[in-house]
Amino acid sequence: MKLRRSMLFVPGANTAMVCNAYVYKPDTVMFDLEDSVALAEKDSARLMVYHALKHFAYQDIETAVRVNPLDSPYGLLDLEAVVRAGTDIVRLPKTDTVADVLDMQAAIEKIEKKIGRTKKTQLLAAIESAEGVVNAVDIARCTDRLMGIALGAEDYVRDIRTQRTKEGNELTAARAQILLAARAAKIHAFDSVFSDVRDKDGFIAEVKKIKNLGFDGKSLVNPNQIYLLHNIYAPTQKEIEWAFEVIEAAEHAKKNGLGVVSIDGRMVDAPIIARAEFTLDLARTSGLIGEDDE
Amino acid sequence: MKIINSAHAGTLESSDVYIQINPLDKDTVEIELESSVKELYGEMIEELIKNTLKDMSVSSVHVKAQDKGAMDLVIKARLQAAILRACECDPVWEELS
């Protein structure tokens, strides 16, 4: 199982971050060529990200690049650079409609064909408007290149004429729609960034909330947020023990031809078993259990 | 690739390099390197600059590089950006190895 809990934004013009982001071990490094890069530095940042993607330090970590819109003077140049350099994922800058995704896909296919790249570049759509949220279901299902959809909260709240709050009630509708669209299409769902890097408690509260909602992970703006997020996403010892107990009970029931089994008076059926398997998968991938534990 | 203008790329921040490109009226490559690690890595950095220029078919240029401990990939990216700005060209990706 590929974990995608943490997606660390790295401004493409920030030399130190571009060179060192892999050290912090996020699940995905997301180089940004769009909003964080000044117009006069677009060319230089593009070249920096191009070389970083080819550097050996970034061969064992998943990479994504947020490119500029295709209708800007930079979008196609960005795509040419990052697809050639072998990025795993291209993050669309703003996705309002299915056409936005398909246009990006067509441009990528053209480059892949030209350079003979056989590995398909994946796509991640950023939903940042009311229109995008309304179209999220269609967007999530429009191509098998789409590995996930992500909420871009800052632009979204501006579009629906409100502002972000600590409670996050203004994002309730968008989060629900994005999550359900992603789950229906069997792709990943990512929550927006939490920009106030000094507010550790606020960040932790928000991560707990989006984890409980069902999000796979979150975009991050600071390496210090990675460890906090991974800790919250890691199953607790109690959850791991429970999962082992469920799997053992299920295997016992199967072996003895029993339809249903119960633990502590609670019925263990297929959804409970699937949840236990997911917990153990997460524990394995997080390095909390090894072969000796099973 | 012909250098027609002066141009620069990069910054003087730590881990970066500031590259200044100037045209020359003779067919030669001049490199002026300032680096805190010049004694250890100066030759390697100059070699990297020469090879990058060769890949881009630049044979007449003055390069001033003020290195602040940049990795190879940064030196290459900043140099290529400065060259493309000086030539007013779009990148030819096959030359930007």
Q: Which residue of B has its CA nearest to A45?
A: B77
Confidence of residue A257 (pLDDT cuts 50, 70, 90): confident
pTM: 0.91
Residues recorded for chain A:
294
Chain A within 8 Å of B48 (Cβ-Cβ)?
no
Q: Inter-chain contact A44–B74, Cβ cutoff 8 Å?
A: no
Chain A within 8 Å of B64 (Cβ-Cβ)?
no
pLDDT, tens digit (0-9, with 9 covering 90-100), for B18-69: 999 999 999 999 999 999 899 999 999 999 999 999 999 999 999 999 999 9
pLDDT, tens digit (0-9, with 9 covering 90-100), for A84-108: 999 999 999 999 999 999 999 999 9
Q: Are strands A261-263 and B17-22 parallel, antiparallel or unpaired?
A: unpaired
Give the count of Cβ contacts less than 8 A between chain A and B: 49
Question: With contact defined as beta carbons under 8 Å apart, do A289 and A240 qualify?
Answer: yes
Question: With contact defined as beta carbons under 8 Å apart, do A21 and A13 qualify?
Answer: no
Confidence of residue A1 (pLDDT cuts 50, 70, 90): low
- Token pair recorded at residue B24: 């020359």
Taking contacts as CB-CB distances below 8 angstroms, the residues of chain B near A84 are 93
Average pLDDT, chain A: 94
Chain A within 8 Å of B37 (Cβ-Cβ)?
no
Chain A within 8 Å of B7 (Cβ-Cβ)?
no
For each of the domains in chain B, give its residue range(s) and CATH number, in order of start.
7-88 (3.30.230.10)
For each of the domains in chain A, give its residue range(s) and CATH number, in order of start.
6-233 (3.20.20.60), 237-293 (no CATH)
Distance CA A160, CA A165 (A): 14
pLDDT at residue A171 is higher than 90: yes
Q: Which residues of A245-263 are buried (b: 16+ CB within 10 A; e: fewer)?
A: ebbebbeebeeeeeeebee
CA quadruple B76, B80, B81, B83: dihedral sign: positive
H/E stretch holding A72 reads none
φ, ψ of residue B26 in degrees (nearest 5):
-130, 160
Taking contacts as CB-CB distances below 8 angstroms, the residues of chain B near A80 are 93
Q: Inter-chain contact A15–B13, Cβ cutoff 8 Å?
A: yes
Question: So what's the pLDDT on residue A294?
Answer: 65
- Token pair recorded at residue A159: 């579009």
Q: ipTM surpassing 0.90, yes or no?
A: yes
Q: Strand, helix or coil at B19? A: strand
